[in-house]
Structure 1
Amino acid sequence: MYAYFKEIITKFREIKENLREIPLMFKTVRPKGKILFFFFIGAIFDGIIAVIFPLFVGKVMDRFLNIKHLLSGGIKTLLIIGMFLLIHTSFRSFLKYKRKYINEDFLKKIRGKYFNKLIHLPVRFFDNKNPTDIGEMIFKDTESVVSIWTEKFSQIISNLMQFIGSIIFLIILGKFFAIPFLLIIPMLVGAYMVISWSTFKLARKSLEEEIKLHKQAEDTARYIRLIKAFNMEELYKKRFVLNLNRIKDIAMKRVKLMELTFFSQQIIFYGMTGLILIMASFFINKPGFSAGLITTLFLYAHKYMGSTFQLGQNLITLQKSIVSFKRLKEIEANYLSKKEEIKTKQAKKVLPIQKKAKIRFKNLYFRYNESFVLNNISFEIFEGEKIALVGPSGSGKSTIFQLMLGFYSPEKGEIFFDEIPYLFYDKENMQKEFSYIPQEEMIFPGTIMENVTVDGAKIDNKRFKDVLKLSGLDSISPDKDASSLSVGQKQRIAWARAIYKDAPIFIFDEPTSNIDPIHTFVMLKNLISIYKDKTLIMACHHMELIELVERIIVIENGRIKEIGTHDELIKRNGIYYELLNSRYLVANI
């Protein structure tokens, strides 16, 4: 018994901690005042009718027992009750329709609001999140929070009115009749809430495991050739079955708790009904008690039980919404942090982008987690210069690009653009100065044309055709679905997209990853020939491409080891020379 009460106290403390989020949630996500007023009035009206209704039923019951009373006033009372029920039902139907309409409209606005904030967050926010988490935030979490205003808000007010009204009328009309309900029901509902909250947490855990299982199935389909090539079928099967068993165990625990919840609810309901009947048989012959009064008390007792359980259930739903709000609050906090950063820049007079610029890294340090991936990096790139970053995998080449693009901020040191620190420029304007080709192919839903001309501006048809020709895509219809192309063709779209943007600085991160080196060499040579005034910074390990650039920056373990032309670095017999001899730098043409 002690452990049982201790568990209830622990759960209520957890609920109490979550309830502290309510004021912020109501402040952050709420509809307009008129809508709230509509829901508030509707809930009060619904609660008043629900509380008054048992009194009319008792009155009709007494009149039905006497034929004279029935003929004289019972029919009239019955008609009044009928009108009451008609008005109540009509109003509730209208309220339900209006609530659904407002819910969808409000949900659309809230999802738009959070998606707008989400898409402007720093890249670091997305580093430890999978796409499913983001999807849940925008769809399930927003729906859960919005439902508080459009549905649960009204229900909680109505339930509270029924709960308080039932207690008052039970005490006024029944006195001793009310005592067992006032003492027993709250304790039982407390236990019911604890079980329900545990059930919800298990449901959440089960969903997380199902997401992992779904991802595993996707990975199996994506990497099926690799799985077969390494005879990993049995290993993947064992992993899948292991996850299935884990989901089954969680589901069985949840089912047990749900059945326990249902069983306890039914036992309480029927037990209290039996208690009402026993007490009714005891009080029926007492002075002042009639069949109508007993019926009224019976209805109030049931209404008290029902409203108490519904309040408990709505509090659990409120807990779910608070959990969802905490996830949305993460978006809010990061967005506010970014707004503060923008304000700081504005206070420092953000400078316009200078078209003729050079990039300089000065004593720069950066880390994703605990250890630094860039250590005291310093170099400069001049306007129109063609540069290659060379070094083993994991040496920090891609990280340098991420910093140039403004996806991350350095831990220490500074990045300069035209001798002015990046801090004084707006990142979104800065990113317009770069045309970027990532290692992996990135295809958006839509046609080849839509993927190449992604900025949504008016399409320059001549430039578009020239870009397709330069990228080797001119033989394919621009209206073809881009997702149906081969991996190499998708990488060519990345080239075309970067060239079409026509930014002053090109950043190519391993541009040969999915295209054969010969075609890459031809494309890059033509690109350099056509866009002589553009700055090009490229990470690669193909000798023929490296020889097209003017300078080479050699990176190892996050540090700059050498800088110079191909011939200069060969003469030094340093890291670059070793990479060449170790065949890390390959020749394919």
Structure 2
Amino acid sequence: MISVFKKIWFFSGKERNNLTRSIVAAFFHAVFNAFQFVAIYYMLKCLFKQNVVQKDIIIVLVVLIISLIGKIITQNVSQMNQTHAGYFMAANKRIELGEKIKRVPMGFFNNFSLGKLTTLATTNLTQIESWIPVLLVNVLGGFLNTFIFVLSIFIINFEIGFVALIGMIVFLFVTFLMEKRSRKNAADMSNIQTRLTKNVLSTIQGMQVIKSYNLCGENNKSLNDAIDDSYKTTLSLEKMIIPYTITQRIVIGMTIVVMLLFCIKLNLSGNLSIVDTVVLMIASFTIFDGLIGAGSNMAILRIAENAIDSYEYVNHMPDIDEGNISSLIQNHNIDINNIRFSYDNRRVLDNVTCIIKENEMTAIVGMSGSGKTTLCNLIARFWDVNEGEIKIGGNNIKDYTIENLMDNISMVFQDVYLFEDTIENNIKFGYQNATREEVVNAAKKAQCHDFIVSLPQGYNTSIGEGGASLSGGEKQRISIARAMLKDAPIIIFDEATANVDPENEDKLKLAIESLTKNKTVIMIAHRLKTIRNANQILVLNKGCIEQRGTHEELMRQGGIYKDFVNAKSVSENWSLNN
């Protein structure tokens, strides 16, 4: 039980003071609650003595008013601080998680890690923000409330107070056993929740394929199994708790019976006054209310504690080693020296060496799986090379701070992702402090201003997640406007025109020409007419650079590049004849 409180205490971080204030307020709430017991006891004393005077009534009223006001104030303070602690505790951890993800190699991410991170950011942190502060304060408040009442009974009569204390200790022992037993189930619940989240995400992302193959409903076995496992684990947890909660009730019930019997026995023997007997008999039915609530919450608190334990996954996520060079990069030549890279045990790049000169265009072509995108990702340090080195401006990219390196690189991807926000904010994503005028200028250069102003709210138009309300060409031009606004000296195009229709291709070509002026450009392209004028073309084959040169040089050489151009020419002139 102490370990739970200790974990919550350390996890709370900046919200520790708010959590402390909430607990202290809960303690005083229990004290003010006990004042009611004092007032009742005092009034019964006066009534049985049959000498109630105005002074006694005033004293009782004052004590009750102090109790009421004190409870209202302490309840308010406790609730406000615990609410603040809960939501800001989770918010701080979500921000911390977001910052951590920025420093994690892209190779870390897979179906499991994405499901795990989604569960952490949603389910687990929601449990923490909603449950932990409230449950913690309720558990401690319940224990404190009962303990103060037991102390009050001790003052009236030691024997009955001792019975109440023994009942409280036995109750806590049963709670400890329940809390210990629930650990395994809580851990299983977290794993099941991760699996369920992963399957839900996969189902949503692949809904088009699932529908086309009629895998909805009962046919989606993986999702159904995850839902069933979640149901069974939750039900198992509830069934496991039931015997302990019943035992808790039995312990409390037996304690109350024994207290009542002692009250009657002591009264009949003349060792307990009628007033004390009545008060203690009334108290025996009420003093354990807080304890019962605390015991019920302990099992739930264990699940919330497991949510804290699961956050350790974030602390074990690997960081990209970061250098300390933060000064301005003077030139943007890219030297790639004998690099090798593998995904797990599959070699993707093998002994690749080349120089990408500043303010020139280098094109990369090759069959699918030849390593084109991987090479670009290594330059941007989405992954790190296994062997060799990549230099920019004469320094190994590992020696730069991540922020400095990324300030010098813009990437335009084949699959553009736009955020569920306004078009203006999507363009400003790489340069948050840009003015509206700068955004519009970038949009005009990227050939997307005209279609933006034709939208209902222009630049303030909100687009769906991923840019679902825009065409592929429109999304590509917005991504180019985003890159223009960032104005990085190195531009990487990863097949940016692969899926664009002919109507938008000319506009994209103009946008790319505007973006790449006086830049170091690396372009992966399947449409060869976009790279004919490249200063250098690298031909990758099975992870190695097999050819290099200009378009004319490579056509004279023959080999893969010439075969590639001829095959493209044939495919572009292909038609379906009746």
State the match for 2:426 in structure 1.
Answer: 451
CA distance 1:530–1:208, shift in 2 (3 Å)? closer
Give the letter for the 2:259 counterpart.
I
CA distance in 2, matches of 1:184, 1:234: 49
The 8 Å contact of residues 15 and 88 in structure 2, kept in 1 or not, is answered as: no
The 8 Å contact of residues 57 and 295 in structure 1, kept in 2 or not, is answered as: no
CA distance 1:529–1:165, shift in 2 (3 Å)? closer
CA distance 1:157–1:557, shift in 2 (3 Å)? farther
CA distance 1:162–1:584, shift in 2 (3 Å)? farther
Give the letter for the 2:70 counterpart.
F
The 8 Å contact of residues 365 and 412 in structure 1, kept in 2 or not, is answered as: yes
CA distance 1:229–1:108, shift in 2 (3 Å)? closer
SS across alignment from 1:441: coil
> Does 2:543 align with 1:562?
no
State the match for 2:462 in structure 1.
Answer: 481
Once the two structures are superposed, the pairs formed by residues 167-566 of structure 1 within 5 Å of their partners are 169-170=153-154, 172-174=158-160, 177-178=163-164, 181=167, 184-194=170-180, 200=186, 204=190, 207-208=193-194, 211-212=197-198, 214-215=200-201, 218-219=204-205, 223-224=207-208, 226-233=209-216, 236-257=219-240, 259-260=242-243, 262-298=245-281, 305-313=288-296, 315-316=298-299, 319-328=302-311, 331=314, 345-346=323-324, 350-354=326-330, 356-367=331-342, 369=344, 371-454=346-429, 455-459=431-435, 461=437, 464-465=440-441, 467-468=443-444, 470-471=446-447, 474-477=450-453, 478-479=458-459, 480-483=461-464, 484-516=469-501, 519-520=504-505, 523-524=508-509, 527-528=512-513, 531-566=516-551
Deviations 1:172-209 (A, max 9, x none): 24377458526643443334434655665566466446
Aligned-residue Cα RMSD (Å) equals 4.2
Deviations 1:128-171 (A, max 9, x none): 44388357537852772697567725852672474376268458
CA shift for structure 1 position 93: 1.9
CA distance in 1, matches of 2:303, 2:204: 29
| TM-score (norm: length of structure 1) | 0.78
CA distance 1:492–1:573, shift in 2 (3 Å)? same
CA shift for structure 1 position 387: 1.5
> Does 2:109 align with 1:127?
yes
CA distance in 2, matches of 1:308, 1:228: 52
CA distance 1:508–1:23, shift in 2 (3 Å)? same
CA shift for structure 1 position 39: 4.0
CA distance in 2, matches of 1:127, 1:81: 66
The 8 Å contact of residues 361 and 414 in structure 1, kept in 2 or not, is answered as: yes
> Does 2:86 align with 1:102?
no
CA distance in 1, matches of 2:387, 2:497: 32
Give the letter for the 1:382 counterpart.
K
Deviations 1:260-300 (A, max 9, x none): 45544444433433343344444431231234334454466
CA distance 1:553–1:298, shift in 2 (3 Å)? farther
SS across alignment from 1:482: coil
Choose which of 29, 40, 44 in structure 2 pairs with 1:46. Answer: 29
Aligned length: 557
CA shift for structure 1 position 459: 3.2
The 8 Å contact of residues 40 and 154 in structure 1, kept in 2 or not, is answered as: no
The 8 Å contact of residues 422 and 462 in structure 2, kept in 1 or not, is answered as: yes
CA shift for structure 1 position 25: 2.9
Deviations 1:437-481 (A, max 9, x none): 122121123333332233233437477356446435524424343
CA distance 1:437–1:231, shift in 2 (3 Å)? same
CA distance in 1, matches of 2:570, 2:180: 63
Give the letter for the 1:246 counterpart.
D
CA distance 1:108–1:265, shift in 2 (3 Å)? closer
SS across alignment from 1:471: coil
CA distance 1:258–1:588, shift in 2 (3 Å)? farther
CA distance 1:103–1:135, shift in 2 (3 Å)? farther
Give the letter for the 1:127 counterpart.
F
The 8 Å contact of residues 341 and 385 in structure 2, kept in 1 or not, is answered as: yes
CA distance in 2, matches of 1:580, 1:36: 68
CA distance 1:533–1:366, shift in 2 (3 Å)? same
Percent identity, aligned pairs only?
21
SS across alignment from 2:435: coil
Unaligned runs of 5+ in 2: none
CA distance in 1, matches of 2:162, 2:104: 65
Choose which of 38, 54, 62 in structure 2 pairs with 1:83. Answer: 62
Unaligned runs of 5+ in 1: 1-14
SS across alignment from 1:436: strand
Once the two structures are superposed, the pairs formed by residues 17-28 of structure 1 within 5 Å of their partners are 21=7, 24-25=10-11, 28=13
CA distance 1:194–1:110, shift in 2 (3 Å)? closer
CA shift for structure 1 position 382: 0.1
CA distance 1:49–1:553, shift in 2 (3 Å)? same
The 8 Å contact of residues 428 and 485 in structure 2, kept in 1 or not, is answered as: yes
